[in-house]
Amino acid sequence: MKIILLLLSIIGRSSQLSIGECGTEARRPQITDIAVQCGTSSIELAIEICPVLYTGYNETLLILNQMLDTVCRATLDDSVTPPVARFSFPINMTHACGSIFKTTSAAGTGVFSDFSNIQTVNISGVVRSTDPTNGMITYNAELKYFFSCAYPLEYLINNTQIDVSASSIAIKDNNGSFISTLRMELFSDTNFTQPLVIPELGLELRTSVYVEVKATNLTGQYHVLLDQCYASISRLPSNSSIFNLFVPCSKDKFTTMMENGESQSSRFRFPAFRFIEQQNETVSTYYLHCIIRLCEKSACSTFLQCNNRRKRNTLDTAEPGITKSYTISSSEIITKGDSNESKDKPLIAKEEKDESAVGLGAAVGVLAIACLISLCVAAVFYKRLKY
């Protein structure tokens, strides 16, 4: 402990800003001295540094969640007025500089209104001052700056990934915590071997799209269970209307469930469609979103029964046999906005023209033969009259 305090004492002298440069900003700390920005990939903290200097500290003596890692330390930004100490860390459970992740449940709203429970992840922590004073007493007050950010779990999983078709999630079982990857892929064949290639002009309407959601690095204890899959014209479904391919115990008549809750892959297919609100556009572009849970393989069948589904949704996610829900999205799907009827009409018209030409040729041929026969008969009568 003495070594750490000595190190902090040495580091604590490295601030390039002095109390004399603060002017009227040199004052006692206030609650409003910290600004928190809850971003989609990281959390940003900005703490006014002059009150910190006034209290006897500097930015090097502000420690985030008791983490001494250099990536978790503050940097001085004196390019703004008033100057601040900045912290920045990713919203990743394994690299969040010691921040606490807590999941709470509440009634689902909006696109998740079919569910009685939707989880929210609260990320919180504290920035504390570390007193470099040696001895039994100090005249420096302790500083504490608390922060927190709340994210709907579906938003957190869906929007902090560079590749939205794959999400890494932290799972905890009886053997501890591990990271599993959920991936959604689109295929063009029933064997799920040929990736779906979307032409530049879009898929033909009613083309079969095969969807697979697969977990990797997952223990044999769990299977993948799809709770709901829907399409939206926006990558963020809350920003647009949605079309449900299936919801608990109900599905669109054109959606075919091929495998669900039976292994570490869930599969279904649907015919390509377009959104009517994009009817004035040359193509229709949309995304698939699936709400996923992991169920223990011995209990998956019970969660697939409709008479238990609504009861399960009202329970806490700590219910034995099933994990909290995750959301994963596909890459964009593009379908043609028009049909091929207009392209077929010239071909039909051409065929009719050819048939007319053949009929006209036959008629001309018959007429020519009739004229020839008439000439022959006339010649015979002429010879008889002459002799």
Rounded-to-integer distance, Cα 357 and Cα 365, Å = 12
Dihedral sign for Cα atoms in the order 196, 235, 262, 110: negative
Burial class (CB in 10 A: 0-12, 13-18, 19+), 380: exposed
pLDDT at 44: 92
Range 176-196 average pLDDT: 81
199 neighbors 212 (Cβ within 8 angstroms): no
Percent of the chain with pLDDT over 70: 64
**232 exposure class (CB count in 10 Å sphere: 0-12, 13-18, 19+):** buried
Q: CA 141 → CA 16, 23, 85, 131, 339, distances in Å?
A: 22, 21, 18, 9, 74
Res 123 pLDDT > 90:
no
Highest mean pLDDT among 198-207, 231-240, 273-282, 369-378 belongs to 198-207
Percent of the chain scoring above 90 in pLDDT: 26
Q: Which of 70-84, 133-147, 299-313 has the lowest mean pLDDT?
A: 299-313
Does residue 346 register a pLDDT over 70?
Answer: no
pLDDT at 318 over 60: no
Most confident option among 94-98, 261-265, 294-298 = 261-265
Please determine, for residue 8, whether its predicted confidence score (pLDDT) is greater than 50. no
Across the chain, mean pLDDT equals 74
pLDDT higher for 118 or 247? Answer: 247
Tally of residues, the chain? 387
What confidence category does residue 329 fall into, taking pLDDT thresholds of 50, 70 and 90? confident
Q: Is residue 271 within 8 Å of 257, Cβ to Cβ?
A: no
Query: Which residues neighbour 373 within 8 Å (Cβ) at sequence distance 6 or greater?
Result: none
Task: Please state the rounded mean pLDDT for residues 236-248.
Answer: 75
- Summarize pLDDT for 34-63 with one digit per residue, the tens: 999 887 778 999 999 999 999 989 999 999
* C-beta separation of 90 from 123 below 8 A: no
Instruction: Quote the distance between the C-alpha of residue 87 and its chain's center.
Output: 27
Q: What residue ranges define each of the domains in the chain, with the CATH number in brackets?
A: 19-132+139-152 (2.60.40.3210), 155-305+323-336 (2.60.40.4100)
DSSP-derived secondary structure for 284-330:
EEEEEEEEEEEEETTTHHHHT-HHHHHHHHTS-TT-TTB---EEEEP
Least confident of 279-283, 326-330, 349-353: 349-353
pLDDT digits (tens, 9 = 90+) for 138-181: 778 889 999 998 776 554 544 433 233 445 555 555 545 455 67
Average pLDDT over residues 12-37: 82
- Whether residue 47 contacts residue 62, with contact meaning beta carbons closer than 8 Å, is answered with yes
With 70 as the cut, is the pLDDT of residue 315 above it?
A: no
- H helix or E strand, kind and range, residue 128: strand 118-129
Mean pLDDT for the stretch of residues 321-328: 73
Compute the average pLDDT of residues 249-277: 89
Residue 341 backbone phi and psi in degrees, to 5: -60, -45
Which of 146-160, 200-214, 334-348 is predicted least confidently?
334-348
Tokens of 52: 């910190």
Reported as type and span, the H/E element at residue 107 is none
Number of H helices, E strands in the chain: 6, 19
The rounded distance, in Å, linking the Cα atoms of 387 and 379 is 13
